[in-house]
Chains A and B, each alone.
Chain A
C-alpha cells in the first residue's frame, strides 16, 4: 500500500485492474484504492509478473503488501532476504589509494557494526522495518535502499483494526483535511507575505495568444500564474520541498500541487509534475485534466503523494487574497486572489490596471521572510515577461 499523502495510514482496496499472473511494467495502473481523499489509482514501479492479491475490500496499512511482483511466473517464493556476500578486500593498486575500505569481519558484534545508507534508513523508517536486522549488499556491506525494499513484504504489518469500508465518504475526507490542517497549525510556524502584481502585460499577452487558438486550446490566467510560480521556485528552491523532523529536503523537481475544490465539499491538491518544465499549453491541459479527474474520482496515487509545493487560486471565488495553511510536510503554499481592476501608478500617472494579489505561507523553521519575499518578487518579474513563461 503506497503512501498517498502524509496523513494517510491505510487504504481500502477497491478494485484490481489486472489479473494474477499478468505481466506488469513501470507506470501501469494496477488497482484502485479508496482513501479518505477518494478513489485513487495505484501505479506500479516494478517490472514483472504480479500475483498474490489482497482481496477487494480489505483495508491495508500503508507499507504493507498489496501484491507481489516477481521476475518469473507464478507466486513469489519464500520471502528470504538476499544473502550478502562477505566483504572483500580489494587488491592493492600501485597507482592510486584504495577506493574501498574493507569493513572488519562483523561476527563479534553484528548489531553495532551494521551500516545503513541514509536513504535506506529513511525508507526503513517509512516502512516500519528494522534495518539493522537486514543483511546489506552495498558498499562495505551496507544496507541499501534495495535491501530495505526487498525486505518490505516480510515486515510485520502495522497493527490496524481491519475495518472494511467501501465508497468515498465526505465525512472522512473532512476529517483528513482537519487532521492535516490541525497538524500544520500546530507544528508549522507559518509566516505570511503578500504582494500585489500588475497583470497588464500578462493579460495582454494572453489575449493575443488566445486570439489565435481554438477554444479548447485557450489558456486561462491560472496557467500563467502556476507557471510563474513554478519557475520562481526554480530560483528559490528553498521553498520547494518537504520538512520532516525539522530537516528540509528539496523536491526532486517542482511538482506543484494544484488545489481543486470538490463538488461535494473538500479539496484535493494533486501534483503537476515538473510544472516548471512544461510548456503553457501542456500545463493548461494538465490542469483541466486534473480538475476533471479529481471531480470524477480518477486521480492516481503518485499524483496525490508527490507535490513539493501547493498553489491555490481562489480567483473564481471572488476572494481578493488568500492566507493559506501549508499542507504538511510541504513548506510553502502560494495563493492567488481574484484578478481585479485597480488604480495603479505607472510612470507617475494613475491608471486602471488588472492586478492580482499573490500570497505566500511558508514554514519559518526552514526559511525566513527574505527568501519568501524573493519568491514573490521573482513571480512578479516573471509575470512581467509573459512571453518567456
Chain B
C-alpha cells in the first residue's frame, strides 16, 4: 500500500523488533524480570508471552547476575538470547558478568568463543523515580572494550537496531531511554534496516554542532529549533552508537561548523562527553574556532522533586544558551 507512513510509538517499535527477532530465529529467546506475565516494567514485552510461550519468554527471578550470565553462556553455546534489565541501576548487579565475562571472553579465548548476546536496558531520568532508577550510566559501558553500546533516540532506530544487534557477533547493549517509550513518529516504510556503526546527522547546519544521544538528542533538536529562530543554523548529530564511537562523523561536522556543544545526561566528570571532547581536541584541534562546550547532568544523585530533577538534567534552553555563547559570544 502506498498510503502515508503509519505512526508508531517507540515502545511499540521495540516490541515489533522483538517479535520480528523471535519469529526470524528459533535460537532467539527473551529473559528478564517480569517480561512475561507482568508484561514488562515498561510494557515493551506485553503480549509476547501469549504469542511465543514460556520457553522463549522467560520470566526470571530477581537475579541479574545469574540471568545475564546465563545469557552469556547460552550465547557462547549457540543461542541468540536477548536479555532485558529493568533499569540501568539494576545492571550494576550484573556488572561482573557484563564486564568480566561478556566483554573479555572473545579476546581471552583467542577468538574461540563469541558472545552474540543482546542486553536491553532502560535508562535515563525524567520520570520522578529518584536516585536508584534514573541515572545515565551508559557512558560507563562505553568505556569497556569488547562491547557495542547503542542508544536509539528515534522510533526508526528503536524499530531496526535490534535486528542489526542480533547479527553482530559481539555483546551489544541497547539503552532505551525511559522518556522516549511514549514518543510517536511515522515510520518510513522504505527503511527496513539501520546500521549500528555510525552516528547520524539528524539536522544539517553550518553554525554550530550539537552532539547528543537518547533523550539528549531530542533536547538538542529542540534547542536547534530555538536557535533557528534566532538565525543560528545548528547541525545536530545523533551519536546512536556510544561504542565504538564514530569519530569521523563528528570530526567532519567540526570541520564544517568549527563549534561544538556536547549534550550528555550523564554526569560530567569522566563522562562520554569528556571522551568526545577529547577526541575533538586530539584530532580536530586545528579546526576549532571556539572552545568546546558541554551540557551535562548536574553532579547529584537524581532528586525526586520535579523542579530539582528538571534542574539536574540538561534542558533545551541550556543547550541553546551554550550554543549561543559560541556563536554570539558578546
Instruction: Choose from A86, A87, A144, A252 the contact partner of B290 (Cβ within 8 Å).
Output: A144
CB of A195 within 8 Å of the partner chain: no
State whether B325 touches A99 (Cβ < 8 A): yes
CB of A234 within 8 Å of the partner chain: yes
* Complex-state Cα separation, A120 to B287, whole angstroms: 8
* Complex-state Cα separation, A70 to B285, whole angstroms: 31
State whether B290 touches A142 (Cβ < 8 A): yes
State whether B286 touches A139 (Cβ < 8 A): no
| Proximity bits, B45-89, A CB within 8 Å = 1, else 0 | 000000000000000000000000000000000000000000000
Interface of chain B residues 243 through 301 with chain A (CB within 8 A)? 248, 251-252, 255-256, 258, 283, 285-291, 293, 298
Instruction: Choose from A84, A118, A237 the contact partner of B287 (Cβ within 8 Å).
Output: A118
Instruction: Choose from B251, B258, B321, B325 the contact partner of A145 (Cβ within 8 Å).
Output: B258
State whether A138 touches B293 (Cβ < 8 A): no
Instruction: Output the residue of B255, B289, B326, B329 with the most chain A CB within 10 A.
Output: B289
Residues from chain B with Cβ under 8 Å of A118 in the complex: 285-289
State whether B248 touches A119 (Cβ < 8 A): no
Determine the residue in chain B with the shortest Cβ distance to A148: B289
Determine the residue in chain A with the shortest Cβ distance to B255: A252
Determine the residue in chain A with the shortest Cβ distance to B253: A252
State whether A139 touches B248 (Cβ < 8 A): no
State whether A250 touches B283 (Cβ < 8 A): yes
State whether A100 touches B289 (Cβ < 8 A): no
State whether B325 touches A138 (Cβ < 8 A): no
* Complex-state Cα separation, A86 to B330, whole angstroms: 8
* Complex-state Cα separation, A141 to B298, whole angstroms: 28
Residues from chain A with Cβ under 8 Å of B298 in the complex: 96
| Proximity bits, A90-122, B CB within 8 Å = 1, else 0 | 000001100110000000000000000111111
Residues from chain B with Cβ under 8 Å of A140 in the complex: 291, 329
A359 to chain B minimum Cβ distance, whole angstroms, is 24
B272 to chain A minimum Cβ distance, whole angstroms, is 19
Residues from chain A with Cβ under 8 Å of B255 in the complex: 252
With A100-B325, A250-B283: A120-B248 Cβ-Cβ less than 8 Å = no
Residues from chain A with Cβ under 8 Å of B329 in the complex: 100, 137-140
* Complex-state Cα separation, A122 to B256, whole angstroms: 15
State whether A119 touches B289 (Cβ < 8 A): yes
State whether A122 touches B286 (Cβ < 8 A): yes
* Complex-state Cα separation, A138 to B286, whole angstroms: 16
State whether A138 touches B289 (Cβ < 8 A): yes
* Complex-state Cα separation, A122 to B293, whole angstroms: 21
Interface of chain A residues 39 through 93 with chain B (CB within 8 A)? 84-88
CB of A335 within 8 Å of the partner chain: no
Residues from chain A with Cβ under 8 Å of B164 in the complex: none
Determine the residue in chain A with the shortest Cβ distance to B318: A96
Interface of chain A residues 128 through 154 with chain B (CB within 8 A)? 137-142, 144-146
* Complex-state Cα separation, A59 to B223, whole angstroms: 48
State whether A99 touches B321 (Cβ < 8 A): yes
Instruction: Choose from B252, B288, B311, B318 the contact partner of A252 (Cβ within 8 Å).
Output: B252
Q: How many residues of B contact A (CB 8 A)?
A: 24
CB of A328 within 8 Å of the partner chain: no
Residues from chain B with Cβ under 8 Å of A120 in the complex: 289
Residues from chain A with Cβ under 8 Å of B251 in the complex: 250, 252
Instruction: Choose from B252, B256, B290, B318 the contact partner of A139 (Cβ within 8 Å).
Output: B290
CB of B322 within 8 Å of the partner chain: yes
* Complex-state Cα separation, A249 to B285, whole angstroms: 9
Determine the residue in chain A with the shortest Cβ distance to B283: A250
State whether A253 touches B288 (Cβ < 8 A): no
CB of A247 within 8 Å of the partner chain: yes
Residues from chain A with Cβ under 8 Å of B248 in the complex: 234, 237, 250
State whether A117 touches B252 (Cβ < 8 A): no
Determine the residue in chain A with the shortest Cβ distance to B298: A96
Residues from chain A with Cβ under 8 Å of B258 in the complex: 117, 119, 145
Residues from chain A with Cβ under 8 Å of B322 in the complex: 99
State whether A144 touches B330 (Cβ < 8 A): no
Instruction: Choose from A84, A87, A88, A119 the contact partner of B288 (Cβ within 8 Å).
Output: A119
Determine the residue in chain B with the shortest Cβ distance to A99: B325
Interface of chain B residues 201 through 238 with chain A (CB within 8 A)? none
* Complex-state Cα separation, A146 to B257, whole angstroms: 12
State whether A137 touches B330 (Cβ < 8 A): yes
Residues from chain A with Cβ under 8 Å of B291 in the complex: 139-140
Residues from chain A with Cβ under 8 Å of B283 in the complex: 250
B330 to chain A minimum Cβ distance, whole angstroms, is 5
State whether B288 touches A117 (Cβ < 8 A): yes
B98 to chain A minimum Cβ distance, whole angstroms, is 27
If A119-B286, A139-B325 are given as contacts, then 20 extra A-B residue pairs at C-beta distance below 8 Å, sorted by A number, are: A84-B330, A85-B330, A117-B258, A117-B289, A118-B288, A118-B289, A119-B258, A119-B288, A119-B289, A137-B330, A139-B290, A139-B291, A139-B326, A140-B291, A140-B329, A141-B330, A142-B290, A145-B258, A247-B286, A252-B251
Q: Which 10 A-B pairs have the closest CB atoms?
A: A252-B255, A139-B329, A85-B330, A117-B289, A118-B286, A145-B289, A139-B290, A119-B289, A118-B288, A122-B286
**A interface residue numbers (CB < 8 A to B):** 84-88, 95-96, 99-100, 117-122, 137-142, 144-146, 234, 237, 247, 249-250, 252-253
Query: Can you list 16 A-B contacts (CB < 8 A)?
Result: A86-B330, A95-B311, A96-B298, A99-B322, A117-B258, A117-B289, A117-B290, A118-B289, A137-B330, A138-B329, A140-B291, A145-B258, A145-B289, A237-B248, A247-B286, A252-B252
